[in-house]
Structure 1
Amino acid sequence: MSEEIMTGPEILRDNVARTTGNTSNTTGAAQKVSINTDTAAGRAHALSEIGKAMAEFDADIEAPVKIQTEEEIKNEYVVSMLMKNAVVLVKAGEGRLAFNILRNVLIRKPEHGEALKLMGQCLRDDNRLEEALKCLRAYAKIARTPEANASVAEVLYLSERDEAALASYRDVLKNVITDEALLFDIYKNVGNIHVRAGDYEAAEEFYDKAYTLQPESHVLLVNYGTLEIQRGQWDEAVSRFRRAVEINASSDRAWVGLAMVHRTMGDLELAKANLERALDINGANRTALRLAVEWAAQDHDFSSAISHLQDYVSDKGGEDTEMCFTLAKTLVQAGRLREARIETERVLALDPEFENADNLARVLDKHLSSQAMEHAS
Structure 2
Amino acid sequence: MTMMEQGIQHMNEQQYEEAAKCFTAAIEENPKDPTGYINFGNLLGIVGDVERSLAFFDKAIELDEHAATAYYGAATIYYKKDQFEEAVKLFRKAVMEKLDEPDVHFMLGMSYYQLGSLPHALSSLKRAVELNGDDVDARFHYGLCLAQLEQVDEALNEFRQVVEKDENHADAFFNLGVAYAYKDQVQLALDSFNKALDIQPDHMLAANGKKTIENALK
State the TM-score bracket (shorter-chain normalisation): 0.5 to 0.7
- The CA deviation at 1:211 is 2.4
Distance 2:29 2:44 in 1: 26
Find out whether 1:216 has 2:168 as its counterpart: yes
Distance 1:91 1:259 in 2: 37
Match for residue 134 of structure 2 among 174, 180, 183: 180
Q: Which residue does 1:255 correspond to in 2?
A: 203
Give 5+ residue unaligned stretches, structure 1.
1-70, 247-253, 267-377
Normalised to the residue count of structure 1, the TM-score between the two structures is 0.40
Amino acid across the alignment from 2:121: A
Give 5+ residue unaligned stretches, structure 2.
1-27
Distance 2:51 2:197 in 1: 35
Task: Answer yes or no: is the 8 Å Cα contact 2:122–2:146 preserved in 1.
Answer: no
Identity over aligned residues, as a percent?
Answer: 11
RMSD: 3.6
Higher normalized contact order (CA 8 Å, seq sep 6+, divided by chain length): 2
Q: Which residue does 2:120 correspond to in 1?
A: 164
Match for residue 74 of structure 1 among 23, 31, 43: 31
Matches within 5 A, 1:309-328: none
Task: Answer yes or no: is the 8 Å Cα contact 1:221–1:241 preserved in 2.
Answer: yes
Find out whether 1:87 has 2:42 as its counterpart: yes
Distance 1:217 1:156 in 2: 23
Q: Which residue does 2:89 correspond to in 1?
A: 134
Q: Which residue does 1:305 correspond to in 2?
A: none
Q: Which residue does 2:152 correspond to in 1?
A: 200
What is the CA deviation profile of residues 75-96 of structure 1, one whole-angstrom value per residue up to 9, with x for unaligned ones?
A: 32xx444333322233345545
Determine which structure has more spread, i.e. the larger CA radius of gyration: 1
Distance 1:236 1:82 in 2: 52
Q: Which residue does 2:19 correspond to in 1?
A: none
Task: Answer yes or no: is the 8 Å Cα contact 2:61–2:71 preserved in 1.
Answer: yes
- The CA deviation at 1:135 is 0.5
Normalised to the residue count of structure 2, the TM-score between the two structures is 0.64
Distance 1:131 1:258 in 2: 35
Task: Answer yes or no: is the 8 Å Cα contact 2:139–2:158 preserved in 1.
Answer: yes
What is the CA deviation profile of residues 52-85 of structure 1, one whole-angstrom value per residue up to 9, with x for unaligned ones?
A: xxxxxxxxxxxxxxxxxxx994232xx4443333
Task: Answer yes or no: is the 8 Å Cα contact 1:117–1:135 preserved in 2.
Answer: yes
Q: Which residue does 2:12 correspond to in 1?
A: none
- The CA deviation at 1:107 is 3.5
Distance 2:163 2:204 in 1: 22
Distance 1:136 1:190 in 2: 18
Match for residue 194 of structure 2 among 232, 239, 243: 239
Structure 1 residues 133 and 72: CA distance shift in structure 2, 3 A: farther
